[in-house]
Structure 1
Amino acid sequence: MKSLRFVSAEALASHPRVARQSLDSVAHNLYPLLFKASYLLEQAEVTRAVLGSWPTEEFRLGALLGPSSDHPVDLCDRACKACLEALVCGLADHVQLGGSHPRLRGADLTGIRDVQVQQCPCGRALGRWGRTQLLARTCSKLQAERLAAGHPMEVLADLFVTEGNFAVVMQALEPVGRAPLQLRCLAFRADSLSPGQLLRVLRLAGPGTLRRLEVVHNVRLHAGHVLQLLAQVGFPRLVALTLPTRAFDAPPACAPTPNGEDPLLAAIAQELSQMTQLTELSVAFSMLTGKIQTLLGPLRTPLRALDLANCALNHADMAFLADCIHAAHLEVLDLSGHDLFSLYPSTFSRLLGQTAQTLRVLTLEECGIADSHVGMAILGLGRCRRLRALKLLGNPLSARALRRLFASLCELPELRSVEFPVPRDCYPEGAAYPQDELAASKFDQQKYDAIAEELRAGLRRAGREDIRLSTPLFGSFDPDVRETSAELGAFLLQAFKTALENFSRALTPAE
């Protein structure tokens, strides 16, 4: 329920002209309420004016939009374009206008959650890439301005850098002299950059404060690049690291060692071991057969989240995972793309036993889990009493097997989400697994709907309406990919064109 103070703030924010004229009379401790009220009502003029006159030395967006005793609704999932643009303009006004009262020295703009459906009145979102572009342009524009208040303002943000905004971000991060707005980074996502561009921008992005680094598939790294990045830049406070596909492949000119050892991977692991706060590691789609101990063994801090999807693990890798220090601390685990129950049934069962006290999210997509494996799955999952989310897409399970599995899942008290595959019954006889996107989409929709409703009815009978079921065939919503889809499409076309040209040149001498 809203407090009377917040209702009053809403009333003032709903009259922009009056609000702007009254700001000098508003008590400093009421500014946070007026800001949240203006954001809620999408009164961009008021939002800008409040930031321009912000009376204290600190502004924390996530905390101000989050639940409070005055207004319990969380607005952090509103990436409202109009409000966020007004907010950044207000910061620019603040450093330009100056004043005699205490001035804002630090603005933390992190905490916004990008969601598929915007709840703000305009319904227009400004995603992470757009926020990065807006901030970088504003910082660059102000670099020629005189510091009105005599000191710069540090702006902390989550950055998303691609080829499309690389130049303006570099300009914002590398100002000449004391810029009014100094951009710092807490979380960094990179896509469609060259290794050289990635190295350059990360050196400027404040690696000493960086907590999360996500380098995705369209940045073509090999093990030499990864080692250079970790050794030369350094990320002492990094908590989470995501590397792109095949990031541990040897450089083209690197000859394999006679004994099969991987000195580059060992060196990378040694660099990772220096990151004493690293607890989340994602290296999906890297060829790591027989190398998991080399990579994870030297780490001094137990991992809480580990993504090893489609890494071609063997029995030695699985045995190490089941017995290593990380297993007893894992909260998030992705082992998609491995035939766990067929090839390593006892080892995987031991791993689940080790993680049972901590595991919250388990992803086992395209693991070849068939009806004959459901008994083993029930025994293993039954110990994971803290499990909140289970993802099983792409496994050849029948409706009967799913009913049996779901009956056991009802016993997990904290389970809230299950992503289950389209049952085999809905596909033509003899359908092959794993499926490509085209084959996966060709199923009997009516039969699927009937089975899905039957599964939901079973949950209701068991009193587990709190478990949400879904079958996201083409992946979950990804706001970053949606926002830059056009740019990434052009990047992939150019990469394909370059590959064809290289192939053509290679054929010419042979002719």
Structure 2
Amino acid sequence: MVLSLVSLCAREVVSDHSSSPSWLRWVPRELYRALLEASFRSCRPLAVGELVQRWPERTLRVGGSRKRGQAAPNRLCIQALLLAVVRGLTDRRCALQVLDLCGLQGDEGGMGDPMGGWSLTVALCTMVVQARAGAQRAQRREGERERKRFSALEREKDVKRERGLWKRESNGDEVDRKTLGGDNSEGMRSCGSLNEEELAKGVRRRMEMERRRETALPGGSRKETEEKEVNSDVLVHVRADLFVNARSWERVRAALSTQGPLKLQCRYLRVEEISVSSIRTLLDLLPHQGLLGIDIRYSSLGVAGLVELLPLLSTFPFLQSLRLHYCNLDFRRDHPGQEEALRELSQGLAKLQELRRLSLTALRLPGQLRVLLSSLPQPLEILELPYLSLSPADLAYLSCSHHASTLQQLDLSENSVDESTLPSIRRLLSQASSSLQHLTLSGCGLTDGLLALLLPSLGGCWALKSLALALNPLSVAGLMNLVRMAVRMPSLRHLLYPNPLEDYQPGLPDQPSSAQLLDWPLDEATEFNTTSIQLNRVLKESGRSDLFLTCDLLNYDKDLVD
């Protein structure tokens, strides 16, 4: 990565923290961004904290998509950023109103000690709760100072009143009193009592307003007024992707229900191993305008639980992504009420007006794809259906559905492809040839013969950027045919190919499954020699230096494609 002159200078400036007091006060606001990026890149948490505490702009965005080879920000730098946001609440130099941390999280345990999604969520929730506690302490101190100031004014008025009466009585000026007349004396006493009455009303009004502020809760007859008061108390809106499991559930709930100077908003919500009722509570607490996607994993929703959640999801007008992974949805069993549950599920999906991505992993839905997808009002752009035991009828419907021509990403891995389903796959690829950018057919049982019939359809997908065919039983000859086709696809950048059968140790069955290919040991003598040499020769002869070939299934990431 080539750095600009400004970036190089910024990296040099933040390298010495001891000199920051001499230059930070003179830095123009236009250079804060470059200095902050240099602080993250060089892992300078103290510089990060000082810059964020006096951030001169309304919005600060940290995170987003990273380029290939660019690491996530260091954990210490993120912690320094969050602490600086809280300190900046009382710093008049800080103009921050929106903190956007969407996409900031890295992989737990990755290079450079990044902060993962769960750790970042816990840190954010702790920051929100601490900011609220700090605001309450400051409010109590301000209230105590106000009461002391008010008491001092009262004492001063009492002293002045007593002194005035004492002077009039000591002078014995009876003539002046007679001249003033009894009516005027009564008037003075009434004025005095009126002032005291107004003063008492002012005290009661102040105490009532303070009581309302301290006990304000959402709901009730004054809901709109209280919501305005709550929003007026918010100094910084914090946007982030939240990762919630059983360990962080209570802290996230507390942060979302906290009313204070920091308001937490969620773009993508990922939940793992929590109950349906807990998911409902989270959805009720989230602002409805900001949520774009929800990812539910390893939670025993069941069909009834999903039917219960779908009406809540429909209240989020911008929800674009729904992902369900290993959620115990199984329609293979013949039990009473299955047809009614499917009908309710279809009706619930029909209310998701903006849904563009649907991911269903290991839900066991053979023969039910039409019921689910036909109810969606808008065509999908991303469809992921791994481990779904799709039937020939499912694939036939998908190839003719209103989703086929708009798909940009399709994952059919671990669904068996044979002679009966191959025509539907070819028809589907033909329908999606102009839009499809990412295709995954790993573990589909593609042999040399099936792949030869599929290659013309694959070659017709002229927009395809990544193709994953791992864990398919191909020989070296079939793999070479695949690579020769791939180099003729100008848009293709990533190809995840399977290890050929010749690279495995002896004893592998003639038609091995994907699980057998995954577990069977490779022959170390041929893994990196014969196959790699042949593939590199094809790449070199074609002049395709921009095509990346890999058989590393664990580290393959299609999102790194530019």
Which TM-score bucket, shorter chain as reference?
A: 0.7 to 0.9
The alpha-carbon distance between structure 1 residues 413 and 305, as it changes in their structure 2 partners (threshold 3 A), is: same
Aligned equivalents of 1:417, 1:21: Cα separation in 2: 49
Q: Residue 410 of structure 1: which of 464, 472, 487 is its match?
A: 487
**2:246 — aligned with what?**
163
TM-score (norm 1): 0.83
Aligned 1:164-183 pairs, distance under 5 A = 164-175=247-258, 178-183=259-264
Query: Counting helix residues as a fraction of each chain, which structure ranks higher?
Result: 2
Give the Å deviation of 1:437. 6.3
**2:57 — aligned with what?**
56
1:91 matched to 2:171? The reply is no
Q: Residue 478 of structure 2: which of 380, 383, 401 is its match?
A: 401
Kept after mapping to 1: 8 A contact 2:299/2:327: no
1:136 matched to 2:125? The reply is yes
**1:238 — aligned with what?**
319
Aligned equivalents of 1:138, 1:117: Cα separation in 2: 23
Give the Å deviation of 1:396. 1.0
Aligned 1:10-409 pairs, distance under 5 A = 10-20=11-21, 22-62=23-63, 77-95=71-89, 97-99=90-92, 103-112=95-104, 114=106, 123-146=112-135, 151-175=234-258, 178-216=259-297, 218-233=298-313, 234-249=315-330, 255-257=335-337, 262-409=339-486
1:447 matched to 2:526? The reply is yes
RMSD, aligned CA = 2.8
- SS state at 1:167 partner: helix
Aligned equivalents of 2:102, 2:299: Cα separation in 1: 24
TM-score (norm 2): 0.76
Aligned equivalents of 2:555, 2:35: Cα separation in 1: 39
Give the Å deviation of 1:302. 1.2
1:464 matched to 2:464? The reply is no
The alpha-carbon distance between structure 1 residues 229 and 416, as it changes in their structure 2 partners (threshold 3 A), is: same
Instruction: Specify the code of the residue in structure 2 equivalent to 1:9.
Output: A
Give the Å deviation of 1:294. 0.9
Instruction: Specify the code of the residue in structure 1 equivalent to 2:303.
Output: A
The alpha-carbon distance between structure 1 residues 12 and 74, as it changes in their structure 2 partners (threshold 3 A), is: farther
Aligned 1:431-442 pairs, distance under 5 A = 431=509, 432-436=511-515, 440-442=519-521
Instruction: Specify the code of the residue in structure 1 equivalent to 2:257.
Output: E
Instruction: Specify the code of the residue in structure 2 equivalent to 1:146.
Output: A
Kept after mapping to 2: 8 A contact 1:224/1:251: no
Kept after mapping to 1: 8 A contact 2:267/2:290: yes
The alpha-carbon distance between structure 1 residues 290 and 251, as it changes in their structure 2 partners (threshold 3 A), is: closer
Give the Å deviation of 1:304. 0.8
Aligned equivalents of 2:539, 2:107: Cα separation in 1: 27
The alpha-carbon distance between structure 1 residues 189 and 467, as it changes in their structure 2 partners (threshold 3 A), is: same
Q: Deviation per CA, 1:321-374: give whole Å up to 9, x if none.
A: 111111001111111222324221222111110011111111111211111112
Kept after mapping to 1: 8 A contact 2:433/2:462: yes
Kept after mapping to 1: 8 A contact 2:10/2:35: yes
- SS state at 2:325 partner: coil
Aligned equivalents of 1:20, 1:117: Cα separation in 2: 34
Aligned positions, number: 459
Give the Å deviation of 1:150. 5.6
**2:167 — aligned with what?**
none
Instruction: Specify the code of the residue in structure 2 equivalent to 1:221.
Output: L
Give the Å deviation of 1:270. 2.6
**2:209 — aligned with what?**
none
Give the Å deviation of 1:256. 2.6
Aligned equivalents of 1:112, 1:344: Cα separation in 2: 41
Give the Å deviation of 1:393. 1.5
Kept after mapping to 2: 8 A contact 1:77/1:115: no
Instruction: Specify the code of the residue in structure 1 equivalent to 2:33.
Output: P
The alpha-carbon distance between structure 1 residues 249 and 28, as it changes in their structure 2 partners (threshold 3 A), is: same
Give the Å deviation of 1:74. 8.6
**Max radius of gyration: which structure?**
2
Aligned equivalents of 2:327, 2:82: Cα separation in 1: 38
Kept after mapping to 2: 8 A contact 1:224/1:250: no
Runs of 5+ in structure 1 lacking a partner?
67-72, 479-511
- SS state at 1:160 partner: strand
- SS state at 2:295 partner: strand
The alpha-carbon distance between structure 1 residues 352 and 126, as it changes in their structure 2 partners (threshold 3 A), is: same
The alpha-carbon distance between structure 1 residues 199 and 155, as it changes in their structure 2 partners (threshold 3 A), is: same
Kept after mapping to 2: 8 A contact 1:237/1:275: no
- SS state at 2:72 partner: coil
Aligned equivalents of 1:372, 1:389: Cα separation in 2: 22
Comparing 155-164 with 242-251, greater Cα deviation is found at: 242-251
Q: Deviation per CA, 1:249-271: give whole Å up to 9, x if none.
A: 3699x9435xxx63323322332
Aligned equivalents of 1:184, 1:286: Cα separation in 2: 30
The alpha-carbon distance between structure 1 residues 20 and 126, as it changes in their structure 2 partners (threshold 3 A), is: farther
Aligned equivalents of 2:238, 2:69: Cα separation in 1: 20
Q: Deviation per CA, 1:122-181: give whole Å up to 9, x if none.
A: x21111111111111111222212277964311001111111211211111111xx3122
Aligned equivalents of 2:302, 2:35: Cα separation in 1: 50
Kept after mapping to 2: 8 A contact 1:77/1:112: no
The alpha-carbon distance between structure 1 residues 74 and 28, as it changes in their structure 2 partners (threshold 3 A), is: farther
Give the Å deviation of 1:3. 4.5
Give the Å deviation of 1:447. 2.1
Aligned equivalents of 2:312, 2:105: Cα separation in 1: 32
Aligned equivalents of 2:77, 2:299: Cα separation in 1: 32
Instruction: Specify the code of the residue in structure 2 equivalent to 1:436.
Output: A
